[in-house]
């Protein structure tokens, strides 16, 4: 069967009935919590506000764009090393390729796989074969940086109380959660949390970022060698042994 037919695994699916249901469930649960809090319902105001601000602290289109652009870094590094560039440029920052954090991994790969840059291969083919061999390792490298940056964004400070004390959104959410649990119990709070996640967090940031890196990888695989006119993915297949 054509992988793009059936079950909508690629495009996905949408159900207005399901959306209406989870939307209704969120508002009913939030109202239940609001009433249970009584004269301390201001805690729900703070709790929801901080959660919404945290969700929007890293926007989906920015994550997708960052993932795609971060993968260009590997292509540029491989190209600069292959061409022997002394001073390279990445995102308006000038650097020496051999001082790049990922350079040791590139150097190790080059030493172990001299066949990727044989004289019978064009410069373009050699660079893309390097990219292919290193892509998984590089993905790990940029994913670690991505997680660090997102976690840093989650610690954005707020002066919600308009006082001299400054807290992160995460700190405020933790404090509100504990205070609300004391009043309405953990079971109802977890019901609220589930309704929030179901309604407002449809896909993880890491999945969005990772998919955008895969799109860039596919772009590399579908490039053609300038000398043989072969696709890069065809060259990879022909270079592999049956055991691989």
What is the pLDDT, as a whole number, of residue 162? 45
What is the pLDDT, as a whole number, of residue 116? 78
Of the candidates 220, 243, 187, the residue with the CA atom closest to the CA atom of residue 235: 220
What is the pLDDT, as a whole number, of residue 164? 46
What is the pLDDT, as a whole number, of residue 63? 92
Residue numbers of the chain with a pLDDT score lower than 50: 160-165
What is the pLDDT, as a whole number, of residue 64? 92
Q: What whole-number distance in Å separates Cα of residue 81 and Cα of residue 83?
A: 5
**Strand runs labelled E in the chain:** 88-90, 93-95, 157-158, 167-168
What is the pLDDT, as a whole number, of residue 163? 45
């Amino acid at each position: 069967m054509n992988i793009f037919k059936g079950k909508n695994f690629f495009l996905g699916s949408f159900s207005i009935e399901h959306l209406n249901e989870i939307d209704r469930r969120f508002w009913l649960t939030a109202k239940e919590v609001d009433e249970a809090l009584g004269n301390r319902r201001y805690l729900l105001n703070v709790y929801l506000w901080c959660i919404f601000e945290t969700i929007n602290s890293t926007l989906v289109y920015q994550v997708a764009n960052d993932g795609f652009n971060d993968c260009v870094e590997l292509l540029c590094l491989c190209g600069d090393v292959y061409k022997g560039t002394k001073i390279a440029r990445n995102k308006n920052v000038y650097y020496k390729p051999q001082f790049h954090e990922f350079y040791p991994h590139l150097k190790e790969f080059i030493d172990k796989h001299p066949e990727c840059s044989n004289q019978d291969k064009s410069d373009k083919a050699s660079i893309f074969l390097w990219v292919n061999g290193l892509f998984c390792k590089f993905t790990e490298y940029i994913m670690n940086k991505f997680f660090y940056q997102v976690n840093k964004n989650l610690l954005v400070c707020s002066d919600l109380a308009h006082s001299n004390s400054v807290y992160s959104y995460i700190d405020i959410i933790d404090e509100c959660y504990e205070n609300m649990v004391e009043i309405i119990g953990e079971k109802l709070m977890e019901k609220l949390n589930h309704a929030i996640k179901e309604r407002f967090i449809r896909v993880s940031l890491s999945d969005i970022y990772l998919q955008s890196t895969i799109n860039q990888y596919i772009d590399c695989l579908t490039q053609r060698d300038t000398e043989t006119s072969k696709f890069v993915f065809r060259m990879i297949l022909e270079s592999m042994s049956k055991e691989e």
